[in-house]
Structure 1
Amino acid sequence: MLIIELICDVHLKLLKSWNGPGGGKDGVRDLINLVIDLLAFPFVALQNAPGMPSATASVSSGFLLNLGISGGRICIEDRGTLKAIEDDMGKYIKVLLEVGLPGVLLRCLEHIELRDCGKLVAFIAKMVNQGHRPLAVQFVGKGLLDPNRMRRLLNCSSPKEVILDVLNIISDLARMDKAFYEYINGARILDTLKDFLTNEDSNIRAKACSALGNMCRHSPYFYNSLARCHIIDPLIDRCTDPDRRTRKFACFAIGNAAYHNDLLYEELRRAIPPLAALLVSTDEDKTKANAAGALSNLVRNSNKLSEDIVSEGAMQALLKLVADCSVLALDPSRKEAINESPLKIALFSLGKMCSHLPCLQFLRSSELFSVIGRLHQSQEPTIANYASIIVRKVSDA
């Protein structure tokens, strides 16, 4: 409580009005940042622990914190301290909730300039990013997603690291639970996300795609809004983005936009050619898996797009991908490699397409169909099962 009181409204207002050393706007900023360095120490230490995703592997939540806090070195220099942090993290979070830290941090945003709030927003993002649901719930309950606050933080004049962390917050909340969808909708950010899809910074484009994908993860709650805001077209364009990560997350978002029903199928029709092209590109396997999954979802809920799936070369691309991956699948010594390949998703997608006559007829006549028959002998049970399902559907037709 004593530490939290250092950044409470009363103290910050007094400090801001004081002209002495450590006072004024700079003093408020420095005090807030020092308190954050202290309180964020355990979160940074845990994120850098062995087995956790690297804090610098990508533009991860709270990037500024990872640069400036010694907690990142704890996992290397003092394993005993790290173990203590891991054991007591639940208690620590309980204390932070009891003293109302989320609400205090949100009020701190009102006391500092936008250009100075990078570390504060980074700390909020890190607490949400590490999946501590009670903290996320209290942040949202205290107005984290207030539309005026979101408008300020996502403004074009906001520092890039702040924009990225706010996009991370939205994405992580959306991924965590569909219960947050209502609050995300209330933040009124869809037009901003649409603009970010064409931002000059590739990291912002990628994060916008990821956020939209997670906003469609659990339900079709946002489908009508996506149509109303005309977001689908610029999202499809990101499948041919010059940035690899943006392409990967665009495929992910398109797949989720097609998963729950066929409401957006007509708008998504234009996505079929770029998704098919990615399957036979040099992109990473995760992007190919996302593209294959998206194509599967475009036939999941109706046959509206089944003829386009054939005519635009999507089935041919899927079969080519399966053929390219089949050597690994039939080699028992390469089991680990096949688990990382997009083969399973490609076979699953072809199995879904077999439910529609145009796709089934194309598959039966393709010279690559024999590859699927051979995959029935794969030592990997999921691959063998998916191959068997496709062969059976074709044989029964």
Structure 2
Amino acid sequence: MSITKTLHRVESYTSQCVLFNLLSVIIMNCNLKSRLKLLDGFISDGTLDKCSSLIINQPNLGSQRIEGTGYGFPDVGLLDGMINFYNTFVTSLNQDQVRQFYNNSTAWASICTMMKSLNNNSEISIEGISFCLQFIYSSMCFCESFRDNVMKDRLLLRTITLHIKSDFVKQLLSWPISRGGGQYAVEHVVQKALTILIMILNFQGDCSALIFDIMYKEEVTKHCIYGMTLVDGCDGFVALLSKLITCHSRFAAHVIKFDGFNNALVDSMLGHENVDVVLDYLQIATQLARSSKGYYNNIGATDICVHIKNLIVNKDCRIRSRTCSLIGNMCRHSNYFYEIFLKCNIIPELINRCHDPDQSTRKFACFAIGNACFHSSILLRALKDSVAPLVALLGDEEEKTRANAAGAIGNLVRKSDELVPDLIEQSALIGLMKCLNNRDASTKIALFSLGNCCSYKECRDALKDKDLLSEVKKMKSEPSTDPTIKKYAHRIFIAYET
């Protein structure tokens, strides 16, 4: 190709960059067969290596820029074409072909080196930054070692986080779209950086300490919260924040510190038209509630219960399931929300979710009901109608659902005998006894719940002719029996001896 011959002949850095820009345009307009043929040629004639050398050894051109802008980046950077030259190959070839590309070039090292040395004089435009981030993301998808390289490189990680920071986002949004800024720039630069960071959290492995340290020190949580309030299509910011708070509890404190859980955000995120945004913000609320009862005041200061009442009947089963999980965690540490749930009439719909066609929703509904009667008897009257569906769920196909249902039944009589007649009438005790034969997670919990029931004479009398003691004795005497099961079995014997 005459362009590559000219490329290897000219000495001017600017001229070589312009030629690479022309090559990238040609490659983008080629079919796959032609791209592969060109790749073979670029490998054999040293064009790939030439590209890497130009990217790494960028001279300080200063006032030599032929195009510029008052917005911080050149309109067109000399490096743009070379980065897109690499990016086009990585994003359009299959895994074996991309592997050939990497094996015969230093593209990965040159792009990463360039990213870590970015400054105001770098010959790269916003579009060029977008190409870089796309190249890094695609490379991480194709090759585990590249993913590991990013996760272990403190400077590269910090550089990527710079592209989601609030000052950078504000700068992008203040630029006109015609100059590479605005919402278009956010979608093509910030969202790609967010996607990379989410992938890093998904595959953190042994690098988790370094990754969390960088994201904590760089206050990524704060910048996610800012992005949620500033950017249309905020799903990437909410997704990263959700992932962060789920991965490590230390980020929960940052959510509160940087006002990431206020009434305006709760209304905006939980009322969002994008289902993924709703799911991720529900996860943030759930993790806050799960992390510490110290966050209950912050959660309670919002109108979240208004949203819970709507979301628990949402047509999307993922939202219904996560809402039940949120309710359960809002009851995890204390009875703080019991009266609020009563006032907002949330309990009847929570009970209805025990009949939900979605398996995950049924599982978390049982979990929430169990926690809703764990700390006090405030909600027992409202929970009376949960007995029958909980008994039915003792036979659910999902082991965890059976276990949660068994636990919830035991908790219904943990603080009061108010629902003992209902448990007897609905054959809850018989259902718990049947769970003893499951020999799975529900067995241990059913045994514990039977212990709760047997603290009441009415329950002991109801079970007298049901061979409970002989069944429990048999379980206790088996050599392989879990020590915890033996302890729970002993508790039942003690109840009958009282």
TM-score range, shorter chain: 0.7 to 0.9
Deviation at 1:255, TM superposition (A): 0.3
Q: What is the aligned partner in structure 2 of residue 12 from structure 1? A: 169
Instruction: Check the 8 A contact 2:249/2:291 in 1, yes or no.
Output: no
> Aligned to 1:145, what secondary structure does the other structure show?
coil
Matched AA of 2:230: H
Question: What corresponds to 2:473 in structure 1?
Answer: 373
Map of 1:138 onto structure 2: 254
1-side partners of 2:212 and 2:243: how far apart? 16
> How many Å separate the matches in 2 of 1:41 and 1:289?
33
1:18 positional shift: 1.1
Change beyond 3 A, Cα 1:6–1:376:
closer
Superposed counterparts of 1:42-121, under 5 Å: 42-46=200-204, 49=205, 83=206, 85-97=207-219, 101-113=220-232, 116-121=233-238
Residue 385 (1) aligns with residue 487 (2):
yes
- Residue 462 of structure 2 corresponds to which residue in structure 1? 362
What is the identity, as a one-letter code, of the residue corresponding to 2:314? N
Specify the SS of the correspondent of 2:178: coil
**How far is the alpha carbon of 1:15 from its aligned partner?**
2.8
- The aligned residue for residue 316 of structure 1 is 430
- Indicate the residue corresponding to 1:288 in structure 2: 402
* TM superposition shift of 1:369: 4.5
Q: State the Cα distance separating 1:37 from its structure 2 match.
A: 3.4
Is structure 2 residue 151 aligned with structure 1 residue 36?
A: no
In structure 1, the residue matched to 2:145 is none
Report the CA distance between 1:221 and its aligned residue: 0.6
Aligned partner of 1:12: which letter?
V
Going from structure 1 to structure 2, the CA distance change for 1:92 and 1:202 (only over 3 Å counts) comes to: same
Q: What is the CA distance between 1:316 and its match in structure 2?
A: 1.2
What whole-Å deviation, never above 9, does each CA across 1:52-84 have from its counterpart, x for those lacking one?
Answer: xxxxxxxxxxxxxxxxxxxxxxxxxxxxxxx4x
2:381 alignment partner, SS class: helix
1:262 and 2:377 matched: yes
Q: Which residue of 1 aligns with 2:42?
A: none
- Rounded to whole Å, the distance in 2 between the matches of 1:291 and 1:8 is 45
Are the counterparts in 1 of residues 194 and 237 from structure 2 also a CA contact under 8 Å? yes
- Is the contact between residue 152 and residue 158 of structure 1 (CA under 8 Å) also seen in structure 2? no
Are the equivalent residues in 2 in contact too, given 1:174–1:211 (CA < 8 A)? yes
Q: Distance in 2 between matches of 1:128 and 1:94?
A: 11
Unaligned runs of 5+ in 2: 1-157
- Letter of the 1:297 counterpart: N
How many angstroms does 1:210 deviate by? 0.2
Q: Which amino acid aligns with 1:120?
A: F
The alignment partner of 1:342 has SS state of helix
Q: How far does the alpha carbon of each residue in 1:127-183 deviate from its partner, in whole angstroms, 9 at most, with x for none?
A: 0010241x221121111111111111111x421111111111111111111111111
Q: Helix, strand or coil for the counterpart of 2:177?
A: coil
Match of 1:232 in 2: 347
Offset at residue 368 of structure 1 (A): 4.9
Structure 1 position 125 matched with structure 2 position 242? yes
TM-score norm. by structure 2 comes to: 0.64
Provide the C-alpha distance between the structure 1 equivalents of 2:171 and 2:289, rounded to a whole number of angstroms.
38
Cα distance in 2 between the residues matched to 1:290 and 1:282: 11
> CA offsets per residue over residues 215-271 of structure 1, 9 Å max, x none?
000011101100000000000011111111100000000000000010100001110
Total equivalences in the alignment:
338
* Partner amino acid, structure 1, of 2:409: L
SS of structure 2 residue aligned to 1:213:
helix
Q: Distance in 1 between matches of 2:214 and 2:166?
A: 23
Q: Are the aligned partners of 2:396 and 2:402 in contact in 1 as well (CA < 8 Å)? A: no
Distance 1:20 1:283, change over 3 A: same
Verify: 1:199 aligned to 2:199, yes or no.
no
Task: Specify whether residues 319 and 25 from structure 1 end up closer, same or farther in structure 2 by C-alpha distance, changes over 3 A only.
Answer: same
Shift of 1:184: 1.0
Three-state SS of the structure 1 residue aligned to 2:313 is coil
Q: What is the 5 A alignment of 1:296-311?
A: 296-311=410-425
The structure that has the greater radius of gyration is 2
Deviation of 1:304 (Å): 0.8
With over 3 angstroms needed to count, the CA separation of the structure-2 counterparts of 1:356 and 1:11, relative to structure 1, is same
TM superposition shift of 1:88: 2.3
Q: Per the alignment, in what secondary structure is the counterpart of residue 303 of structure 2?
A: coil
Structure 1: any 5+ residue segments left out of the alignment? 50-82, 326-337
Higher alpha-carbon deviation: 233-242 or 2-11: 2-11
User: 1:109: how far off?
Assistant: 2.0
Distance of 1:178 and 1:159 partners within structure 2: 29
Would the aligned equivalents of 1:131 and 1:176 in 2 still touch at CA under 8 Å? no
TM-score scaled to structure 1, two decimals? 0.80
2:142 aligned with 1:26: no
CA distance in 2, matches of 1:270, 1:303: 15
Cα distance in 2 for partners of 1:294, 1:168 equals 23
Q: Percent identity?
A: 34
Cα-Cα RMSD: 2.0
Secondary structure of 2:424's counterpart equals helix
Report how far residue 90 of structure 1 moved.
Answer: 4.8
Please give the residue correspondences for 1:340-359 in structure 2 after superposition, counting only pairs within 5 Å: 340-359=440-459
1:215-226 equivalences under 5 Å are 215-226=330-341
Shift of 1:34: 2.6
Secondary structure of the residue that 1:266 maps to in structure 2?
A: coil
Which whole-Å CA distance do the structure 2 matches of 1:372 and 1:7 have between them?
59
